[in-house]
């Protein structure tokens, strides 16, 4: 058999044989629309209510491989490289009401359990330490200036799909950090006279934070 003809036949077999078509996902092609669920990644915040300049806001998160979702489902997923991003904003008034300015330079980040991560995104990137079946992060933000600040935490692990056997293949599961409501200082919204905050000068319709969100907390830093 001519060698060139042999290679052509081999390539054709690879392309059409079912065992080699692992890059396609036929069920998803039939989805008219996706529905979503949210994986809950808890984050706790210590001493965020009585902070002065040079004090440390302590942030801790322990995430299990047994993941709960907001719809009440549970699934197992081994998370070997879990990360998150912590972003600080200062609440200011631009004459028309309260807005947010980036305030990362007003805090110094610390890490006690986990690693700092070099990331192109704005904010402080962290990688959890893996203690199977758990992932743990203990971090800190040292306050450098007084003021009212909004701190958001974001899980950077993307989406989970097809880890819940009973789920339709048209369901996507995203992850979100959940700060306990008692630690969010949501009473500050009343003093601001609003239920959402936008970035100053940003004309995007999406706010940085809504009162109903669970991935943020307020902290008022004293001089």
- Answer for the pair 173, 210: CB distance below 8 angstroms, yes or no: no
Please report which confidence band the pLDDT of residue 7 belongs to, taking 50, 70 and 90 as the band edges: very low
Q: Give the separation between CA 183 and CA 214, rounded to whole angstroms.
A: 10
Q: Which of 21 and 150 is assigned the larger pLDDT? A: 150
Backbone φ and ψ for 48, nearest 5 degrees, come out as -95, 0
Neighbour-count burial of 108, counting CB atoms closer than 10 A to its CB (0-12 exposed, 13-18 middle, 19+ buried):
middle
Q: Give the separation between CA 91 and CA 98, rounded to whole angstroms.
A: 6
pTM: 0.81
Distance of CA 26 to the CA centre of its chain: 29
Backbone φ and ψ for 121, nearest 5 degrees, come out as -80, 160
Q: Could you tell me the residue ranges of all domains in the chain? A: 21-222
Q: Tell me the chain's radius of gyration from C-alpha atoms.
A: 23
- Over range 85-98, report the average pLDDT: 93
**In the predicted structure, residue 72 carries a pLDDT above the cut 80:** yes
Mean pLDDT over the full length of the chain:
83
Q: Give the three-class secondary structure for 118.
A: coil
pLDDT tens for 14-52 read: 333 333 333 333 355 567 777 788 999 999 998 778 899
Question: What's the residue count for the chain?
Answer: 223
**In the predicted structure, residue 187 carries a pLDDT above the cut 90:** yes
């Amino acid at each position: 058999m001519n060698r060139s003809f042999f290679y052509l036949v081999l390539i054709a077999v690879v392309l059409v044989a079912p065992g080699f078509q692992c890059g396609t996902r036929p069920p998803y092609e039939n989805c008219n629309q996706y529905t979503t669920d949210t994986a809950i990644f808890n984050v706790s915040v210590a001493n965020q209510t009585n902070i002065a300049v040079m004090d440390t806001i302590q942030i801790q998160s322990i995430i299990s491989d047994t993941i709960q979702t907001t719809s009440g489902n549970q699934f197992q997923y081994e998370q070997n490289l879990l990360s998150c991003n912590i972003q600080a904003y200062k609440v200011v008034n631009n004459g028309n009401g309260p807005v947010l300015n980036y305030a990362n330079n007003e805090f110094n980040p610390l890490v006690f359990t986990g690693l700092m991560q070099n990331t192109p995104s704005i904010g402080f990137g962290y990688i959890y330490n893996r203690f199977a079946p758990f992932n743990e992060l203990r971090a800190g933000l040292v306050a450098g200036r007084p003021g009212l600040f909004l701190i958001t935490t974001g899980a950077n692990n993307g989406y989970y799909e097809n880890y819940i056997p009973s789920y339709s293949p048209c369901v996507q599961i995203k992850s979100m950090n959940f700060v306990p409501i008692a630690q969010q200082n949501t009473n500050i919204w009343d003093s601001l006279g609003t239920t959402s905050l936008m970035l100053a000068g940003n004309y995007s319709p999406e706010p940085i934070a809504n009162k109903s969100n669970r991935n943020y907390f307020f902290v008022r830093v004293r001089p």
